[in-house]
Amino acid sequence: MNSPSPYRAAASTAAAPRDHAPPTVLLLLAILVSALVLAPIAVTVFDAVRGSVVGTLALLFRPVIGHLLLNTIGLAVVCAVGSGLVSLAMAWLIERSDVPGYSIWRVLAPLPLALPAFVSSYAWLSISPSFQGAAGAALVVSASYYPLVYLPLAAALRGLDPAQEESARSLGLSPLAAFCRVTLPQLRPALLGGTLLLVLHVLTEFGAFALLRFRTFTTAIYSAYNAGLQVKQGALLACVLLFLCFLCLWGEQRLRGQHDYASIGAGVRRMPRRHSLGWGRIPALIFLGTVFTAAVGVPLATIGYWLTRTDAAAMTTTAVSTAQIIRVSFSSIGYGVAAGILTTALAFPVAYLAARYHNRAVQLIERTTYLPKGVPGIVVALALVTLSLQLLYPLYQTAILLVLAYAIIFMPLAVVSIRATAGQIEPGLENSARALGVGRFGVFRRVTLPLTAPGLGSATALVFISVCTELPTTLLLIPTGAHTLATEIWAESSNFAFAAAAPYAAVLAAISMLAAWLLANRFGRAAVA
Amino acid sequence: MSRPVPQPHPVAEHRANDPDLSIAGLRKVLGSQTVLDGIDLDVSAGQIITVLGPSGSGKTTLLRLICGFERADAGVIRLSGRLLADGRKTHMPPERRGVGYVAQEGALFPHLDVRRNIEFGLSRRQRATTDVEDLLAAVGLPASYANRAPSALSGGEQQRVALARALAPGPHLVLLDEPFSSLDAGLRVETRNAVAKRLRDAGATAILVTHDQDEALSMGDKVAVMHNGRLAQVASPRTLYDRPANLDIARFIGEAVLVPGITAGDTVDCCFGRLQLTTQVPRPGVGDRRDVNVLIRPEQFRLCVDHAADNQTIGSDAFPSTACVEQILFYGHDARIQLRLRDGQPFTATVPGFDLPAIGQTVSFRVAGNVYTYPY
Amino acid sequence: MFNHPRRCASSRPGRLLTALTLGAALLFGMNTTASAADQQSITLYAGQHQQMVRLLVNAFEKKSGITVNVRPGEGAALASQILREGKRSPADVFFTENTPELVRLDNEHRLAKVAPNTLAQVPSQYSASNGRWLGVLARQNVMVYNPQKIDKADLPQSLMDLASDAYKGKVAVSPAEGDFLPLVKAMAIKHGEAKTLQWLKGLKTNAKIYNEDEGVVNAVNNGSAALGDINDYYYYRVREQTGKDAMKAQIAHFASGDVGNLVNVSGVAILDSAPHPQAAQKFLKFMVSKQAQTMLANSQIDFEYPLRPGIAANEQVEPFDQLNPPKINVNDLGDNSLAIKLVREAGLL
């Protein structure tokens, strides 16, 4: 979406007022935003390299880091391969076969994205503690994040001209050979891109691994912090993690340009002929059902089960009251709304400039705002703790700092969705408005803003969902005495009080799925991915 | 030509006048809708058949059945003596049929360059003996295109490569599914001519599906008109245009001016006077004084546009009728003129664009050539 | 929408403004709980398990009318945080699972004196000798083992033995836990630094590493490790959740007086910078009151020994007077700096 195809790029360049310099105010705002986004990275790197070089190197080349690398990368590879295969099979079944109810599956398949991984982990963990460890972590994280691979794959598969496979058949290839030689190579960019995105999520995931007690960089950073170790140690771990994340991000961004394989020749495509599965329909159904059950069915059913087991709340003291649930829910919603609005407001100047002005400075600013995608929440949170303790003490432990942290972490979501709509406004419209005698600000208020409204709306909604389901940053930065749904689920379930966690998990799942559904309905399914 | 000559298929020992492709009683049902019914079609070796029909008439389905992308519900398809399909009993998979296929937009594989696209259907041994440059030249493309990505080609070039790719393995039959429909007008004619030439040079048997009449009439040795899942008429382009099998086809192919008339021997009397009937084929019931519909093509009207001496020629033998000009649509090379007879009958004439009457002018005209009639 | 540009233009920013106001209002609403700084509230940095803290806090709030703002976290992290915050720290009271964090703050002169008659409520060997922190609850270090994986007879007699070749690949530990580091210090006191380091290195080759004791208990229970070293209350907590039938793991003790039987103390202190010292003292007094100690002992969430004399421990745990801990005073455990140094040197952190 953010790196358009050559065709589209050419079109928008032609339309952009190249000779105009971007408005100074917007440019300054955008620079400020990118500085904000860069701050946690800078603080982390600074904390890590502080002190003697020898000491830093000694800390860096510790066996623990090797162990963490092995753990983290191993899990990432397992999840990537597992999700890749599952997604490929699902995408093919749903888009190209006559599996019963494919149109329903199409709606169900991306659903796990709306359910936070740490909520799924809570659910699986409450079934049996044996889901703790590498196998459980791989299962839960793959089940939660496979749509990151599935969605681009399914889209790519939908975009392929079915005539290509038919042509290959008429040139003497069997169905399997045609798929392997014609379809699969064209799915590769989508498959790779999605997989890298998934790996990025595995690298930055915190809550699921913490609950399932699997040691990766994020949980090790948290546990170094918990052990009261020097800031430097956590920061060094964070730097190694940042390096891995940026590697993925870089790869993923590079692949994005290649997505448009399918777009030679315009015109209407025929609906692809669905392959008949015959007897295979039953195993196919079982397969889809299993994936969906693991990803969504089991977590929701488990939450439902614990909701009915009020007697089993023995593990909790504070018998969860309705008033408490409502208070905590509103707190989550409040943070979500506040962060949604702030993030959207901060993202606007960047996205608008990026859509309009194609010069190096603007490009650099825009790229910068994508970086937080590769910065785990826990890293941002720790950096902001340091920053607020040393420079911004009035903000320390305030809601404002937490909302600011959210804004940094979810800036990429907002920039991408605003940019998408801002890029569609023809500059001619604004010029026409100016010619009609309306001032610069008037044009902004009466033309630009209303036309970008869908993008602003989807940005706010996306950030809202993400904030509600965010855990590590919230844990570290939340004001004393305040709670959100995520922190309550965390508090109860990390102490095995599963029944006590259930109401919060249920509300969180409901809010998140409802918001995702509204978002998909209003702004198109692509918005959710 | 150094192109690999299609290897004669072992079973293809049929005599020359035997049909290469033979379809009998073909039927296809999709859901509750019969998409194709009772299709009989024979295509001789080396012939190009164009299948013409409005969208939804089933022409693409016919093609997909021959390719093997869909299964027939009834009927038999044979190619060079081999049984491709027999109702639901037999269905040879597409890859074994030896039928080349050119899709609507070419369907070039975007991840492969032009050379790899063309070589796609060839075995390793065939690849060694195949000269891709020659194949490119045969479709009118320079050899340097071999290393280009499909996305670097124009739509017309893509279609030519798609044809080269389909012809490379030496198929018994080539099927083309609206191959020019996505091209713009100028490119369409050029590409169409190049493809037609290539097909004829290769002596290929081909079926081309189109909804474009010009294309169907100009490219086909025979034109098969498809309507509502049935073949309404299979005939040479001339026959189809001059003697459409029924009124529907008459209206569908080209433009038709239809007026009532009464036959008198080998002539017919109508509002345009006494016209000569087409006589090549004697038709039962024509000849007596019968009420008929008379089919006249707009280009058969010859107008006398003499601005100076209009009264002299009006009603003369050369231009026996008169009509009033109501509207003129000027196209440059020709023009369509809406006229109305004195008795109120409107009709359209197509005339060369260089000498046009004025609107409101009364002109004299005659009907050139023979006309065809249908029982009333 | 394009048909009514006027209406759009006027209503969109209007709606945005409403949303902004709403957001700001919510933000301030969320802030009020945090910044209500009247005398009737204290801020508690709580390193103990959140549920028992809540139990305690709720009872105190009900009794005293003083609001307690809880900042949950791990003890060591909270101690570090208080040091980083300096005198500006909003914390009044610091409650933690293990005394080294309290000692660390005391060493930095950050603790105020606990009221003498509060200190008098518990035996003096469980509180700071200088009276700057108060012992509240205690628990013992034990072995957890899986009888299907290892015979009870083959269990080690000493914590030291966990590093021997006999237990290679069978042990689970969580060296980053606050409960583990006091063991290292105790080991150093009993056997010296060099031997302790050697022990840790042996552990590094022998053991599977987990982030918390819960992970260790679960690993032993599901058989991925044969035995593990934990504080006993994690065993009961996990058993409570798993169900007694599904609990395959058992508790075992080291030889009498071994370092492995160390008793860890949950302690509490008031910060020298506490904005509300009087209210904080009330809270400490409540923590060692008969009411609070009985309540905690009877709850099925903590499983710690009440330190106030005359209060029976939870019926699931062994009686306090039957424990055989090493002769090491909690004050001698000091802060964790040595333990962390050794653990890191051994490559466990």
CA angle A397, A401, A403 (to 5 degrees): 125
- CATH of residue A136's domain is 1.10.3720.10
Quick count: other Cβ atoms within 10 Å of Cβ B272? 24
Which residue, C269, C303, C211, is CA-closest to C45? C269
Q: With respect to residue A264, please indicate whether it lies within any of the assigned structural domains.
A: no
Q: Which residues of C90-119 are buried (b: 16+ CB within 10 A; e: fewer)?
A: bbbbbbbbbbbbbbbbbeeebbbbbbeebb
User: CA of B83: how far to CAs of A288, A399, B166, in Å?
Assistant: 39, 77, 21
From the list C72, C348, C349, which residue is nearest A491 (CB)? C72
pLDDT at C99: 92
CA-to-CA distance for C23 and A345, rounded, in angstroms? 12
Residues 6+ apart with CB under 8 A from A9: none
pLDDT at C39: 53
What size, in residues, is chain A?
529
Q: Quick check: A167 and B166 CB within 8 A?
A: yes
Which chain A residues are Cβ-neighbours of B110 within 8 angstroms?
A: 186, 261-262, 264
Between B289 and A45, residue with greater pLDDT: A45
Q: What is the mean pLDDT of residues B182-188?
A: 79
Which chain C residues are Cβ-neighbours of A324 within 8 angstroms?
A: none
In this structure, the answer to whether residues C151 and C196 fall within a common structural domain is yes
- C-beta of residue A516 within 8 angstroms of C-beta of residue A468: no
In this structure, the answer to whether residues C151 and C255 fall within a common structural domain is yes
Full residue range of the structural domain in which residue A395 is found:
19-39+315-529
Q: Which of A275, A308, A341 is the last residue of a domain?
A: A308
Strand, helix or coil for residue A109: coil
CATH topology of domain B304-366: OB fold (Dihydrolipoamide Acetyltransferase, E2P) (2.40.50)
From the list A170, A264, A273, which residue is nearest B108 (CB)? A264
- CATH of residue C223's domain is 3.40.190.10
Residues 329-348 of A with CB under 8 A from C: 330-331, 333-335, 337-338, 340-342
**A268 to chain B, closest Cα gap in Å:** 9
In this structure, the answer to whether residues C200 and C129 fall within a common structural domain is no
Which chain C residues are Cβ-neighbours of A315 within 8 angstroms?
A: 51, 237, 240-241, 300-301
Q: With respect to residue C1, please indicate whether it lies within any of the assigned structural domains.
A: no
Q: Quick check: B94 and A266 CB within 8 A?
A: no
Which chain A residues are Cβ-neighbours of C77 within 8 angstroms?
A: 225-228
pLDDT band at B5 (very low <50, low <70, confident <90, very high): very low
Q: With respect to residue C328, please indicate whether it lies within any of the assigned structural domains.
A: no
In this structure, the answer to whether residues A295 and A346 fall within a common structural domain is no
* C57-104 pLDDT tens trace: 999 999 999 999 999 888 888 998 899 899 999 999 999 999 999 999
Q: Quick check: A167 and B101 CB within 8 A?
A: yes
Residues of chain B with CATH 2.40.50.140: 304-366
In this structure, the answer to whether residues A411 and A490 fall within a common structural domain is yes
In this structure, the answer to whether residues A220 and A102 fall within a common structural domain is yes
Which residue, B106, B196, B102, is CA-closest to B150? B106
pLDDT at C16: 52
Mean per-residue pLDDT of chain B: 84
From the list C27, C50, C51, which residue is nearest A338 (CB)? C27
Segment holding C7, helix H or strand E: helix C5-35
DSSP string, C11-58: HHHHHHHHHHHHHHHHHHHHHHHHH--STTEEEEEE-S-HHHHHHHHH
Class in CATH terms, B19-242: alpha beta
Which chain C residues are Cβ-neighbours of A224 within 8 angstroms?
A: 176, 349
In this structure, the answer to whether residues A351 and A211 fall within a common structural domain is no
* C-B interface (Cβ pairs under 8 Å ≥ 3): no
* C103-135 pLDDT tens trace: 999 999 999 999 999 999 999 999 999 999 999
Q: Which chains touch B (3 or more CB pairs under 8 A)?
A: A
In this structure, the answer to whether residues A503 and A373 fall within a common structural domain is yes
How many contacts (CB atoms, under 8 Å) link A and B?
Answer: 94
Q: With respect to residue A276, please indicate whether it lies within any of the assigned structural domains.
A: no
Residues of chain B with CATH 3.40.50.300: 19-242
Which chain A residues are Cβ-neighbours of B181 within 8 angstroms?
A: 267
Among B30, B65, B95, B180, the residue to mutate for chain A (most A Cβ within 10 A): B95
Does the structure show a pLDDT above 70 at C15?
Answer: no
pLDDT at B285: 55
pLDDT at C36: 43
- C-beta of residue A258 within 8 angstroms of C-beta of residue A268: no
At A522, list the tokens.
């209003």
- For A445, nearest residue in chain C (alpha carbons): C9
A62 touches chain C (CB under 8 A): yes
B100 touches chain A (CB under 8 A): yes
In this structure, the answer to whether residues A334 and A448 fall within a common structural domain is yes
In this structure, the answer to whether residues A302 and A320 fall within a common structural domain is no
If phi over 0 gives left and psi between -120 and 50 gives alpha, with beta otherwise, what is residue C131? Answer: left
pLDDT at A440: 75
Which residue, A413, A384, A386, is CA-closest to A399? A384
pLDDT at C282: 95
pLDDT at A497: 76
pLDDT at A267: 42
* C241-293 pLDDT tens trace: 777 888 889 999 999 999 999 999 999 999 999 999 999 999 999 999 999 99
Per-residue tens of pLDDT for chain A, all 529 residues? 343 333 333 333 334 444 467 788 889 999 999 999 999 999 999 988 887 888 888 878 877 788 889 989 999 999 999 999 999 999 999 998 899 988 899 888 888 888 889 899 988 888 877 787 888 899 999 999 999 999 889 988 888 888 888 889 889 888 889 989 988 888 888 888 889 889 999 999 998 998 888 888 898 888 888 877 778 888 888 998 999 999 888 888 887 765 455 444 444 455 667 888 888 899 999 999 999 999 999 999 999 988 887 654 444 545 567 888 899 999 999 999 999 999 999 999 999 898 888 888 888 998 899 888 888 888 999 999 989 988 888 888 899 999 999 999 999 999 988 988 888 777 777 777 777 767 777 788 888 888 888 889 889 988 998 999 999 999 999 998 889 999 988 888 877 778 888 889 999 999 988 888 888 776 654 444 4
Which chain B residues are Cβ-neighbours of A98 within 8 angstroms?
A: none
The answer to whether the predicted template modeling score (pTM) of the entire model surpasses 0.90 is no
Q: With respect to residue C105, please indicate whether it lies within any of the assigned structural domains.
A: yes
Strand, helix or coil for residue A343: helix
SS (H, E, C) A459-498: HHHHHHHHHHCCCHHHHHHCCCCCCCHHHHHHHHHCCCCH
In this structure, the answer to whether residues A304 and A320 fall within a common structural domain is no
Q: Quick check: B109 and A168 CB within 8 A?
A: yes
Residues 410-439 of A with CB under 8 A from C: none
From the list A171, A267, A273, which residue is nearest B105 (CB)? A267
CA-to-CA distance for A411 and A366, rounded, in angstroms? 10
SS3 content of chain C, % helix, strand, coil (to 5): 50, 15, 35
Full residue range of the structural domain in which residue C192 is found:
139-262+338-345
pLDDT at A30: 93
A391 touches chain C (CB under 8 A): no
pLDDT at B237: 93
Residue A52: Cβ-neighbour burial (10 angstroms; 0-12, 13-18, 19+): exposed
pLDDT at A402: 95
In this structure, the answer to whether residues A113 and A149 fall within a common structural domain is yes
Q: With respect to residue C152, please indicate whether it lies within any of the assigned structural domains.
A: yes
Amino acid in the structure at residue A299 = P
From the list C16, C50, C77, which residue is nearest A225 (CB)? C77
Which chain A residues are Cβ-neighbours of C299 within 8 angstroms?
A: 317
User: CA of A379: how far to CAs of A204, A371, A375, C237, in Å?
Assistant: 9, 13, 7, 31
Q: What is the mean pLDDT of residues C198-226?
A: 87
* A-C interface (Cβ pairs under 8 Å ≥ 3): yes
CA-to-CA distance for B232 and C74, rounded, in angstroms? 85
A259 touches chain C (CB under 8 A): no
Strand, helix or coil for residue B357: coil
B111 touches chain A (CB under 8 A): yes
Query: How many domains are contained in chain A?
Result: 2
pLDDT at A6: 37
Question: Kind of pairing, strands C171-173 and C207-209?
Answer: parallel
Residue entry with tokens 């290649």: A258
**B354 to chain A, closest Cα gap in Å:** 37
Which residue, A343, A366, A362, A357, is CA-closest to A455? A343
In this structure, the answer to whether residues A460 and A528 fall within a common structural domain is yes
Query: How many domains are contained in chain C?
Result: 2
pLDDT at C198: 94
At A348, list the tokens.
């606007």
In this structure, the answer to whether residues A336 and A190 fall within a common structural domain is no
Q: Quick check: A171 and B151 CB within 8 A?
A: no
